[in-house]
């Protein structure tokens, strides 16, 4: 008896040693968010941002005043396929949270079963069944049936808070998908607005081309009259005819671009091709919104892509922690409660037919931990990767705003100078046409002036479109559009 006690003590000591040995786990890489800590105070030295004045916090319905554009954005927010796909990703992440939460509570199942078994007569089980009497004079039936029904429960005790950590990681990932949806919203609004302004620019370029065609037709008529009067040659007539054909070809190119741009907007709106309602007449007189940038640190709170990357970083850290706890032993408790008998009629005989069990198991990995190590190393690498992704997102956000602030100023200056160039060339066309009619200027001077004026007007329209689109882009870069 004494030897048995000593033996049991040795067994317990060995088991405890093995459990403690399994608790050794590698340390995760310690990471630091240096990019976040070193965000500059301002976007550049010239502009001192005002923290209380940031266009990124303005709701998009207040930022955009064109009613046609507002209607397009509203339709896109209802029907855009990419946005709808993103919403389903949120539902998937939400289900992941519920799954992790469910592991914290016991699993209870109900079941019934039936079976039959025949043991060999010359086995301990068969010999025991043969000599057992259920009732006086009644031996055990052969073969022996088994009928059972009841409840079964299983519960992993979260002694190391591994399951709670996994749930927290799932919650962080879910929140990151919500921010991802906000980023899709912001991008979608920017795309609709940019394409809308590009469409208006094409409409105005088409008007300019049509005006230029009429001008070329008049110039061609004059050249023909001058040829008949021997004041011009056939070469001048052919040059004007070629220029007219070139302009008409450019008209069809712009018409095709308009069709494609309309369909591009319809695709963003999640619908089949149809006309885009807009008013092109006020395009050139549209004054861009004044944009206030605030301070760079506000990007961390305003931009959904930065918040998404931050939450993914948090989730990856929690994943590493949960993977590390896989090296620790786990404690599982299982229990059953039900009725069991070899004959269905005996199931109702209580308490004889009641069957119960309760067991606890503490087990940890000892040998061949390669799968657990690989899982931990993968989680640790993804944690570092998420940090780099977070830093990259912050840096790109800062550079986006800094570049667009500079672009807003330069495009405004560019637009003013193009306006002056267009006015001067319009005057030179009138002068050249008058001189040509009076045979004081040749057709090349007229053609060159008309081409320069056309190019300047087309570039002026393009400058207006860039001016408006740049304001939209900086609004999105500041984190605007999703609120």
Over its length of 483 residues, how does the chain's per-residue pLDDT go in tens digits? 455 555 555 455 455 544 555 557 788 788 877 777 888 888 875 655 666 788 889 999 999 999 999 999 999 999 999 999 999 999 999 999 999 999 889 999 998 888 887 777 777 777 666 666 666 656 666 677 788 889 999 998 888 899 999 999 999 999 999 999 999 999 999 999 999 999 999 999 999 999 989 888 887 887 888 788 776 778 878 888 898 999 999 999 999 999 999 999 999 999 999 999 999 999 999 999 888 888 888 888 899 999 999 999 999 999 999 999 988 888 899 999 988 888 888 888 888 889 899 998 888 887 778 889 999 999 999 999 999 999 999 999 999 999 999 999 999 999 999 999 999 988 887 787 777 676 666 666 777 778 888 889 999 999 999 999 999 999 999 998 887
Instruction: Let me know if residue 27 belongs to a domain.
Output: yes
| DSSP letter for each residue of 9-35 | HHHHHHHHHHHHHHT--PPPPP---HH
- Tokens read off for 455: 């190019």
| pLDDT at residue 295 in the model | 87
Domain of 229 in residue numbering reads as: 23-124+160-329+375-478
103 near 162, Cβ under 8 Å?
Answer: no
| Residue 361 parent element (H or E) | strand 354-363
Q: Does 341 reside within a domain?
A: no
pLDDT at 239: 84
* pLDDT number for residue 166: 93
Contact 283, 204 (CB under 8 A): yes
- Of 331, 330, 321, 326, residue with least CA distance to 369: 326
Q: What pLDDT is stored for residue 301 in this prediction? A: 87
Note whether residue 78 is domain-resident: yes
Cβ atoms 75, 265 nearer than 8 A: no
In angstroms, the Cα distances linking 464 to 72, 100, 187, 459 are 21, 53, 21, 9
pLDDT of residue 450: 80
Q: Are 20 and 373 in contact (CB under 8 A)?
A: no
Sheet bearing 107-117, strands edge to edge: 107-117, 144-157, 330-341, 354-363
CA distance 470 to 460: 15
What CA–CA distance (Å, rounded) separates 123 from 342?
Answer: 19
What string of DSSP letters covers 455-479? HHHHHHHHHHHHHHHHHHHHHHHTT
333 DSSP β-pair partners: 155, 360
- Give the DSSP H or E segment for 133: strand 133-135
Specify if 5 maps to a domain. Answer: no
Q: How far apart are CA 146 and CA 112, in angstroms?
A: 11
Q: Is 390 exposed, middle or buried (0-12, 13-18, 19+ CB in 10 A)?
A: buried
Which CATH number is 54's domain given? 1.20.1600.10
What is the reported pLDDT for 43? 81
Among all chains, which residue has been given the structure tokens 């999105």? Answer: 476
Taking the C-alpha atoms of residue 353 and residue 337, their distance in angstroms, rounded to an integer, is: 11
Residue 10 lies in a domain: no
User: β-pairing, 144-157 with 354-363?
Assistant: unpaired
How many CB atoms within 10 Å of residue 422?
19
Helices (H) then strands (E): counts for the chain: 12, 6
Q: What is the pLDDT of residue 321?
A: 93
- Residue 194 inside a domain? The answer is yes
Angle between helices 162-228 and 370-437 (to 10 degrees): 20
CA-based nearest residue to 22, from 373, 321, 378, 316: 373
pLDDT at res. 317? 94
Count: domains in the chain:
1
Reported residue count of the chain is 483
Does residue 391 fall inside a structural domain? yes
Buried residues in 458-469 as b, exposed as e (16+ CB within 10 A): bbbbbbbbbbbb
What pLDDT was estimated at residue 224?
A: 85
> Domain for residue 54, yes or no?
yes
371 and 315 Cβ atoms separated by less than 8 Å: no
């Amino acid at each position: 008896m004494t030897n048995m006690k000593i033996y049991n003590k040795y067994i317990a000591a060995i088991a405890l040693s093995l459990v403690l040995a399994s608790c050794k786990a590698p340390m995760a890489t310690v990471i630091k968010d240096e990019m976040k800590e070193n965000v500059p105070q301002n976007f550049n030295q010239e502009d001192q941002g005002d923290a209380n004045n940031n266009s990124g916090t303005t709701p998009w319905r207040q930022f955009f005043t064109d009613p046609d554009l507002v209607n397009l954005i509203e339709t896109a927010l209802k029907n855009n396929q990419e946005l709808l796909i993103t919403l389903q990703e949120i539902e998937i992440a939400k289900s992941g949270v519920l799954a992790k939460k469910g592991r914290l509570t016991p699993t209870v199942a109900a079941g019934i079963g039936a079976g039959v078994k025949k043991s060999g007569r010359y086995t301990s089980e068969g010999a025991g069944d043969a000599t057992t009497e259920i009732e006086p004079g009644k031996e055990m039936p052969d073969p022996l049936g088994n009928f059972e029904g009841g409840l079964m429960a299983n519960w992993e005790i979260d002694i190391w808070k591994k399951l709670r950590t996994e749930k927290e990681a799932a919650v962080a990932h879910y929140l990151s998908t919500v921010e991802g949806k906000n980023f899709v919203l912001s991008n979608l609004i920017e795309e609709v607005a940019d394409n809308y302004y590009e469409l208006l620019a094409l409409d105005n370029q088409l008007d300019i081309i049509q005006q230029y065609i009429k001008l070329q037709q008049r110039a061609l008529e004059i050249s023909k009259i001058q040829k008949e009067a021997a004041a011009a040659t056939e070469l001048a007539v052919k040059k004007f005819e070629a220029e007219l054909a070139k302009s008409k070809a450019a008209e069809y190119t712009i018409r095709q671009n308009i069709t494609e741009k309309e369909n591009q907007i319809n695709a963003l709106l999640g619908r089949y091709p149809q006309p885009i309602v807009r008013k092109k007449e006020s395009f050139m007189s549209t004054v861009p919104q004044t944009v206030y940038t605030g301070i760079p640190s506000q990007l961390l709170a305003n931009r959904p892509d930065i918040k998404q990357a931050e939450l993914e970083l948090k989730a990856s850290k929690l994943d590493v922690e949960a993977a590390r706890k896989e090296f620790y032993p786990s404690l599982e408790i299982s229990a059953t409660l039900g009725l069991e008998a070899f004959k269905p009629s005996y199931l109702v005989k209580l308490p004889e037919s009641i069957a119960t069990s309760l067991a606890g198991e503490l087990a940890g990995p000892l040998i061949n931990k390669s799968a657990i190590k690989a899982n931990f190393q993968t989680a640790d690498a993804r944690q570092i990767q998420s940090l780099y992704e977070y830093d990259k997102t912050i840096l790109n956000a800062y550079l986006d705003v800094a570049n667009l602030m500079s672009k807003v100023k330069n495009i405004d200056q560019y637009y003013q100078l193009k306006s002056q160039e267009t006015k001067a060339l319009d005057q030179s066309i009138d002068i050249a046409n008058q001189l040509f009619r009076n045979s004081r200027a040749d057709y090349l001077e007229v053609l060159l002036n008309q081409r320069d004026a056309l190019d300047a007007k087309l570039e002026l329209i393009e400058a207006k479109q860039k001016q408006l689109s740049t304001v939209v882009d900086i609004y999105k870069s500041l984190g605007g559009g999703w609120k």
